[in-house]
Structure 1
Amino acid sequence: MKIAIEGCMHGELDNVYKTIQYHERIHNTKIDLLLCCGDFQAVRNERDMDSLNVPRKYREMKSFWKYYSGQEIAPIPTIFIGGNHEASNYLWELYYGGWAAPNIYFLGFAGVVKFGNLRIGGLSGIYNWRHYQLGHFERPPYDEQTIRSVYHVRDYDVHKLMQIEEPLDIFLSHDWPCGITDYGDSEALIRYKPYFAQEIQKRTLGSEPAARLLEKLKPRYWFSAHLHCKFAAAVRHGEDGPVTKFLALDKCLPGKRFLQIIEIESEPGPFEVQYDEEWLAITRKFNPVFPLTKRPGNFGATDLDIQECREWVRNKLQERGFKPFEFAMAVPSYNPSEHIPNSVPEIPRNPQTLSLLELLGLPYLLDKSSVTREITSTPASPSPTGFSSFDNEEIPIDDDDIDEGEEIAEATAEDATEDEP
């Protein structure tokens, strides 16, 4: 199986697909799958743009809307995770994963699927210690704080991924696992990105939760992006243990190293996205303790047995098949000749998410208020009445408000990419 790996997409679907098709022509080959490591920017219309955390001068519709509307069809199956520049309202609709557009599949905030006989897992977002232990309290429309915190990785999603026991072939994360630079040419990396040196020395470059997942899951391949450079490493797990081949790639721009083609052993096709039984069983087990406020998840509060969840999922998938539910438009697509009024949007219930939860026998929770847990058609402005002191705690804005083009004397790796398009 030939797989194309893309670093940060930043909405440049047209350019990435054209690059892959050019490679196919000159090498007389066929790429079977595209994997994107975040900053995909699945912006469907003008309202989605309000949930995209980039400086206003960089806000562009880009090309995803054409694939969402059906005007264009992705020429190869595409699987992506979220990063820190996303239409977060749309990804929240597909929290459990699903088709963001025909032939373009979002893995969810955390997820595992099969493609052919390969198991592909992923974790969306970037790590920030301030918000890691909190629940998913953010709801659209986001304010200047929640538009930044919504894409920060949460312990709940990492905990679910840590339950995986069956082997993974590929894992995707947006930021790098902390410590990965020990296993590659860090000197060359520092020459290219000098301001990484201090973070590498302090062991703060990258994501600690991703490092724990790397140690636990030991996938054959791990792909990342975020830091806008190419970096390769090989991690051997124990003296005679398996090896994980790590690769990070740049963003899609001329002259950047944003795309890599690999060939991986696989059984013959058909090559198509399918649900993963073990992952859906984990989802069913832990959904009852899905944390929807700032309070962390209480993992011990679920008494569902994982084997019973596995049997439930197996029976359901045998009844309907393993293919994900079909793509469905939940909101209108961008139309260059029309303008959508700037009004407070409702939070749509994505038909794919509804169907998946019905399959798993689970309630729909994504439009519940982060405070009262009551269903809301539009989020209300926060009021201190009835809040606990913890629920009403103000989340600080990160100290990383650096725009592209500013002179940066000293910066951290996250500073250099947090606001950069």
Structure 2
Amino acid sequence: MPDTTASADKPQIDHRPAQTDLFNSHREQLSGSERRATWKAFAAPLTSQAGAVVENPDLVEMAVAVIGVFSEHHSDHGMTFAQIREGLRSHGVDLAPGVIETRLGHLHTEGFLEPYLSKLHQGRYVIRPAGLVGALAAQRVAEHGGIDEMVLLLDRTRAALQTANPDPRRVLNHLHTCRFTLTVFAKDLQRCVATGTSAELITLGRQHDHSGYTQQVVDLNSLITSRFDGIYELEDAGAALIDAEQFYRAQVRAAIGKVLAHGGASLNFDVLTPREYEDAAIDSTPDLLAEVGTHLLADAPEVVIDINAMIRVLDDYRPRPKDRSRPTEPPRGDQDPDPIAAIERATAETRRRRRLGLEALLAGRTEADLTSVMQTSWPAAVHILTDAMALDADRSEPFVLDIDQTLLIDSEAPVTYLHPARLIRTDCAPPATGAMTEHAQSDRNDGDV
């Protein structure tokens, strides 16, 4: 509750323009159904039948406007219905004339508008003070959900304690009423925290924004202890009031925590009002303000196209040719590697190594039996066969590998099984005889075909 204590200094008036929250105003953020539900609960102890509460919130606003009309009228003998209707129009009430007339008749019937003189058909009316309080209370209850009544209860309890001879029974009743009220609000908050949406919790958080309420309860309990020391019933009631306030404050914190958790996760800017954002922009440091936009996602700005600039660009545009031209070859330096030449050198080196290995096996002869050499080990057999088959497949090399179909098996030898193989060199004069040589040469010629 804001501090209304008078100050000796001249109060400072904030001349900044009035700010409305993200729902346009604290009152307008409540839908008509929410306000009607609040008014129905508020009026339930006073009504005798269902449906007595108005369905259109504008009719309640009209009653408040009637109060403003009377406050601006300077007649000493009340106002007529015609004067009230004219004043309502000047206050911006745009209800239909029939609706206004019906509503004024209802306010007169229910005693809100009381005849200036207790005579029939005298036609001039004043506002009964109780009706004025009811209209203002309806607005306050709709805006704050009845939270102001808790503060009023504390003030009444404090006033009862500060009398010269406080009545213990009266003080005890006030304490019980305060505790009951706190418990009811706390239970409602607990339910909303469990089932309510973020928007509902934001509204509740603003309604329950009474930062000094805890201190008022503590001060009240201290006053009870000092005035009624030794009366345990009152002391117990004061302690129970503190427990109820702590339970209520825990639910308020839970509601705020849920709003902050959901609002931070969903980047919901409705958590704060525009005035709070403005104060943060003025009072906070640049580092704190920078943290606000750390995880924000923003749409790219719209592309603004200048028609005249677009026409100039089209006039100067020249389409690219469809034919692709090969880029110029960069100048080659002395140290630039040639990957193709490197591959060719590696191939030639491998071929030379294989030729030297096979020539060593031939030892100057045109033919050599490779069987005994391959029987020394499996790696040797694989190496010899690989080199011989590679050079046999190369037509530029004069080597032919002849593998017999006979299978030699020796479980005691390093190479347990293999086929007999012969290596033949064809660039030398062939021997006079030798069926194996003629057979190998025939295979070589078939391969050329």
Is the shorter-chain TM-score for this pair beyond 0.5, marking a shared fold? no
TM-score (norm 2): 0.22
Larger relative helix fraction:
2
TM-score (norm 1): 0.23
Larger relative strand fraction:
1
In terms of Rg, which structure is larger?
Answer: 2
